[in-house]
Structure 1
């Protein structure tokens, strides 16, 4: 496997931080941003068990992101279809099917979450928030890489800032409750399974964001940026989870844990800011997922016809995807979508992505590395007979 030539003009931000911001953008989604996923997968294991599960998920994300970026760069695969053709051969279609199901589910979750936010904050019908989100996702997806990467960058600054402020306010308002809940012995059963399940269906974000790999100039960039991606994606979740512990275990049953806690803070302006941040997080997640499909189609179009996907076509594809998915959102609702759909996808992605990558993919990377070293030593020996 020969790595592609170094990308000229890539900045330090694009090489090391953009991949983590992009990965965070995909995984934060409707459930993480609202706290619903955290309540579903981590709170049942209690305060300490939940934190252990989150740290396990973060470690898995870092390792798999690093392996994914390194393999993608080694084989020159900057969209998910090319990646899985190199990894699975003809079996790439298995991942394609799973990914279409994943996008359908997460866009439905995003739509349901946007509808809940519109209802909770502005008193609007849920369909209003759903339609607004769909229109903005289609708009950003229409203009390709530069538009989506800019969204990842600026929404990330907003998100980290708001989560940090939220943690400060939460500690000052109900810090005593948080400390008290952590001091109470609670069962930690199932924490490893919770962390593994959560990591497994979310780690697909690493292949969703493969277009950013083109900025990396070496395999070192790929590995370092991958290892950084785990903490960048998980730190806001940990902060949010710690704040949620103040109302454990009752908060497990809240549809929007974020809105529940914001009401407890009794700060209307920050309440509005936080919900707008969640909406922005839904937007970047949805745009990233739809953009991955556009890039996959664009790569296939270039290979077959030698032409790129037009902005109009990108917008049309995004619109078609979103209309169907938002209908599912309106039909089933947020809690049901997260509880029933994500666990099944976790097992599918373990089988079609994680296991092949960490076995066959790593074997090929290691073999390629030693082959290059051997070739370099032979070249040096021929050039210097002594």
Structure 2
């Protein structure tokens, strides 16, 4: 919080006005989400697109879920003055706040491990770079961003979001154009043949809810930016905008993939986007995809680790000790990333594939349910 006050004590920047209050929180959430939630396309298939013509229901549930959780989180942070996840969880569930740590920390390491492994391989396949060259570049950039802190991270991820949106729109246009009339045929026929189970509305909605739950991991990345919000109008509007920004890439990917539904070569691939772009795009699109994958790892890693560092600093302050210095922030960032990369080489990916849903249920219990009950009660009771 001291860092924010120092930044705001001088000349006000563009980020300190309406843009910072209404858009920056959603931009940060989207930029951190895109790595673990959208980058390869595998996640969109697993959490909706496998249901073909009915998959949009999961997307709608995802949008509603992200919007509601963003609105409640932003407003709860405002009325309780909670601008790091330690403070927010303590105000939400008191002494049980440690339960969030027990889920957040291992899940953060796991997501970073999965992203590091996938990105290293994809960068190698698309640009011919050695796996470790890409890894070292990512570690250095993420370390520098966490060294300089919130201000630089907000700017980096804002422009990164613009670039990533442009890239995903280009990928979507290429895929949709190549698909021709097939997308319309999938919806007209109501095709859900790639789904593993019955395509009933309840099951599909639940899938969207689970997807929202495991992606709650991204919320700590935006907490410091919420200090700019001073009214309920700002938090509610910003929450809706965040839900929108977080879901648009899902729908771009979903519509594009319907052009290849139910092709198992695409929908069953580890990195469906790469398969599609190799089929219908030129060599330049594959190279751009490799760059995008590297960028998403940087954005996701930066946001997740920044949230973790803020948690550590809050704990140190509560114990009467000084916050970590910039150099210590950078060193901790590098250590966490190296740990994630080491784990990614020891079969952690398979473990994660089985553990995501379990962790999602854990986040439902310690975050979603308390926010919908205790959090909402405190918000309604507050006169701020």
- Normalising by structure 2, we get a TM-score of 0.89
Greater C-alpha radius of gyration: 1
Q: Does residue 361 in structure 1 map to residue 367 in structure 2?
A: no
Q: Does residue 261 in structure 1 map to residue 276 in structure 2?
A: yes
1:273-323 deviations in Å (ceiling 9; x for gaps): 233122212211110000011111222333433633211110111111111
Deviation at 1:178, TM superposition (A): 2.1
1:74-127 deviations in Å (ceiling 9; x for gaps): 111110011011111111100011110111111111101211212221334544
- Separation (CA, whole Å) in 2 of partners of 1:192 and 1:172: 29
1:330-353 deviations in Å (ceiling 9; x for gaps): 22375x355323211110100000
Match of 2:74 among 65, 69, 72: 69
1:175-229 deviations in Å (ceiling 9; x for gaps): 3222222333334243122111101111232233211101213222111101110
CA RMSD for the aligned pairs? 2.0
* Equivalent residues in 2 for 1:173-212, closer than 5 Å: 173-187=178-192, 188-189=199-200, 190-212=203-225
Q: Does residue 277 in structure 1 map to residue 292 in structure 2?
A: yes
Number of equivalent positions: 363
1:338-375 deviations in Å (ceiling 9; x for gaps): 53232111101000000001101101111123xx6xxx
- Separation (CA, whole Å) in 1 of partners of 2:103 and 2:81: 23
Cα gap change, 1:83 to 1:318, in 2 (>3 Å): same
What is aligned with 1:316?
A: 331
- Separation (CA, whole Å) in 2 of partners of 1:103 and 1:260: 28
Report the 3-state secondary structure (helix = DSSP H, G, I; strand = E; otherwise coil) of the residue aligned with 2:259.
helix
Contact 2:28 2:221 in 1 (8 A): no
- Separation (CA, whole Å) in 2 of partners of 1:25 and 1:72: 20
What is aligned with 1:134?
A: 139
Structure 1: gaps spanning 5 or more residues? 373-386
Deviation at 1:132, TM superposition (A): 3.2
Cα gap change, 1:286 to 1:220, in 2 (>3 Å): same
- Normalising by structure 1, we get a TM-score of 0.88
- Separation (CA, whole Å) in 1 of partners of 2:373 and 2:20: 28
Cα gap change, 1:182 to 1:116, in 2 (>3 Å): farther
* Equivalent residues in 2 for 1:75-224, closer than 5 Å: 75-187=80-192, 188-189=199-200, 190-224=203-237
- Separation (CA, whole Å) in 2 of partners of 1:47 and 1:130: 35
